[in-house]
Structure 1
Amino acid sequence: MPNPDPTTNVTVPSTQVVSTAQRQQRGLTPNATMRRYLAAFRTPRGLVGLVILLALVLLAVLAPILYPGGYDQQSGDSFQGPSGSHLFGTDELGRDIFIRTAFGLRMDLSIIVVAVPISLVVGTALGLVGALSRIAGTFVQRVMDIILGFPGVVLGVCIVLIMGPGWPALVVAIAVSGLPLFARQARAALLEQSQREYVTAARTLGVGKGTILVRHILPNAVDPVLVNGAIFVVVAIFIEAGLSIIGLGIQPPEPSLGSLLNVGIRFIEQAPMYIIGPTLFLILLSMSFSLISDALNGTVNRK
C-alpha cells in the first residue's frame, strides 16, 4: 500500500520509502559506495599499499615475458653473488634467484586470488544462513568452532596430508582456514543490521525477507566483510609460506616464496639472498595488503 508523506501530502511508493531509508543509513548508492572505496586509495596508507601491490602484481604477471627462459634456466656458476645480471645471485644449480622469486611470487598470487574469494563467498553465505535459521545457525557455529580449534598451519597440514602437497591442497587449506572469520563477521553484521530502523520500516511495509536481505541488509554489511578479506590475505600469505617451508606446499622445482625459503635455509651461508630475497617479497606483499586493509577500514568507518 502507498504511504502518505505527512510533510508534503504526496503519496510515496513503499519501495521508494525503503530505498530512501537505506540510502540514509550510510549513503549506500552504488556510486557512493564506489567513491568510498576509491577514497581509501587516496589516503597515504592506501596509496602506498596500492603502489606496492601493483608493482608486485606487474612483476608476477610479466615474469614469463621478461624471463622467457623460465624459472629453471641454469647458468654456468652456482652461488654467484648479486650482480647486474643476477640481482639476487644464483642458487646451487646456477639458477637466477631473482627470477625464481618472481615466479614464486606469481605462484603465491595465483593461490591467493583463488583461495581468498572462495573463503569469503562460502564463509559469508554460511554466516548468513546461520543468522537466518536457528537450527542451521547452531550447526554452522559448531563447524566453525571445530575449524577454529586448529591453528591455520596445523589445519593446513591436516588437509595437505589428506590431499597431498601442491597447489590444490594449499587453496583448500587457505579457504577452509578463513571460513570462521567470514562466517562470524557476516552473521554479526546481519544480526546488527536486522535491528536497524530501515529494516523495521521495510518489514512494516510488507517487503519480503529475501528482498530485505539482498537489497537492504547486504549492502550495509559488505564493508566489514571486505575489510576482513584484505586482512585475511595477509594470513593466507603466511599459511602458504608456512606449509611450503616445512615441505608440504609447492614442490620443487616449481617455486613459491615459501618453497624457496625451504631450500634456501640449507644454503644461507653460500647465498644469503636465497633467504633475503623471498623474505623481502613476502614482507612487501603482506605489507601492501595490510596497508590497504587499514585504509579501507578507516574510510568505511569514517563518520
Structure 2
Amino acid sequence: MRMKKRTSSLIILKRMARNKGAIFGLIVVLLIVFVAIFAPVIAPKDPYKQDLLASLEPPSWKHPFGTDVFGRDVLSRVIYGARTSLSISSLAVLIAFILGATVGTIAGYFGGVLDEVLMRILDVLMAFPDILLAIAIVAALGPGKINLVVAIAIYSFPQFARVMRASALTIKSSEYVEAAKAIGESNLSIMVRYVLPNALAPLLVQATLRMATAVLTISGLSFLGLGVKPPEAEWGTDLAMARVYLEIAPHLGIFPGLALFITVLGFNLFGDGLNDALNPRLKDR
C-alpha cells in the first residue's frame, strides 16, 4: 500500500513538472504567499504613513512604485494588499470547502429526497452570477472583512458541494465501502474514513481555482466601496482611488492592477495544472 502511494505521488509530481504553466503558477502562488506572510519585513515603508510633500511622486529609487495622493509608498501598499487579499480569500475558501464537502457528502451518500432538496437549494444559489450574489449579500450585511468572507463562502460552497456529491456517488458503491457496511461500521464513520479522503483531490483543485475567484471578488467589491475600507491596503481599494489620477499618475493603477492580474493568473495556472496531474483518466507517458 505504501509503495502504491509513493508511486502515485511520483506520477503526479512528474505530470506537474512537465506542465510549465503549472510550475509557473506554483512559483507565483508561493511567492505571493511568502510576500503576504512576511509583509512587515519586506515592505520598505509604512504603508499607512502619509507624507503630503511627496504626493503623487513617480517611481524612483526612494519609492520604486511611486507614491499615492497622500504620499504613501505604493510598493508597501501593494505588498500589504497581498496580505489582505490572501487572508480574506483563504478564510472564505476554507469555510466554503468545509461546508461544501459536508453538504456534498451527505447528499451523495444518502441520496433520495435529501439529495434532491439539497441540490435544488444549491441550484438556486448557482443561478446567480458570483459577483452579483456577493454584491447582494454585502449590500445587505454592510461592507467589511467579515461580511466579505461570508459573501464569498456563500457563493463558493455550492461548487464544492457539487464536486463532493459527484465523488460520493461513485465512492459509496465501491467494494471497500460495501465491506465497511457489512461489518457494521456507522454511516458517519464511513463518510469520514472512506468517502471524504478519497474525494480530496478534486476538492483541492476546486479550492485552488476558487482562490482566484475570491481574490477578484474582494478587489471588485472593494473597488465599488463594498469591501475593505480605506485606509487599509487592498488592491481594489487602491485601484478605486487611482482612477481619479490615472492621467497624471498612472503608476497608481498599474502596480496594484499587475499584482491582482499576476495573482489570479498564478492560481488559475496552478489549479489547471493540478487538475491535469490528479486526473486519473490521463495516462502517464
Q: TM-score scaled to structure 1, two decimals?
A: 0.83
Counterpart code for 1:60: A
1:239-283: CA deviation from partner (whole Å, max 9, x where unpaired) = 111111111011111121111111111111121111111111111
Structure 2 distance, partners of 1:62, 1:224, is: 30
Unaligned runs of 5+ in 2: none
User: Structure 1 segments of 4 or more deviating over 4 A?
Assistant: 31-41, 200-208
Return the match for 1:54 from 30, 53, 58.
Answer: 30
- The structure-2 alpha-carbon separation of the partners of 1:205 and 1:32, relative to structure 1 and needing over 3 Å to count, comes to farther
Q: Deviations over 1:71-91 (max 9, x none)?
A: 111232211111111121111
Distance 2:94 2:113 in 1: 27
Q: Which residue of 2 is the match for residue 84 of structure 1?
A: 61
- Deviation for aligned residue 1:165: 0.5
What is the match of residue 50 of structure 2? Answer: 74
1:42 is aligned to 17
Question: Counterpart in 2 of 1:165?
Answer: 143
Distance in 2 separating the partners of 1:250 and 1:285? 18
Equivalent residue number for residue 192 of structure 1? 170
Q: CA deviation at 1:288?
A: 1.4
**3-state SS of paired residue (1:42):** helix
Secondary structure at 1:169 match in 2: helix
- Counterpart selection for 2:90 from 92, 103, 113: 113
Which of 234, 242, 258 is residue 212 of structure 2 equivalent to? 234
Structure label with greater radius of gyration: 1
CA gap 1:51/1:268 in 2 versus in 1, 3 angstroms: same
Measure, in 1, the Cα distance between the counterparts of 2:105 and 2:189. 14
Which amino acid in structure 1 is aligned with residue 259 of structure 2? F
Contact 1:41 1:292 in 2 (8 A): no
- Using the alignment, how far apart are the partners of 1:234 and 1:54 within structure 2? 14
Structure 1's unaligned 5+ residue stretches are: 1-19
Partner Cα distance (2:180, 2:39) in 1: 52
Q: 1:116 Cα shift?
A: 0.5
Partner Cα distance (1:114, 1:36) in 2:
31
Map Cα deviations across residues 136-192 of structure 1 (whole Å, 9 max, x no partner): 322212221221122111111121122210110111111111111011111111112
CA deviation after TM superposition for structure 1 residue 197, in Å: 4.4
Find the counterpart in structure 2 of residue 98 from structure 1: 75
TM-score by length of 2: 0.88
Aligned to 1:14: none
Aligned residues: percent identity? 35
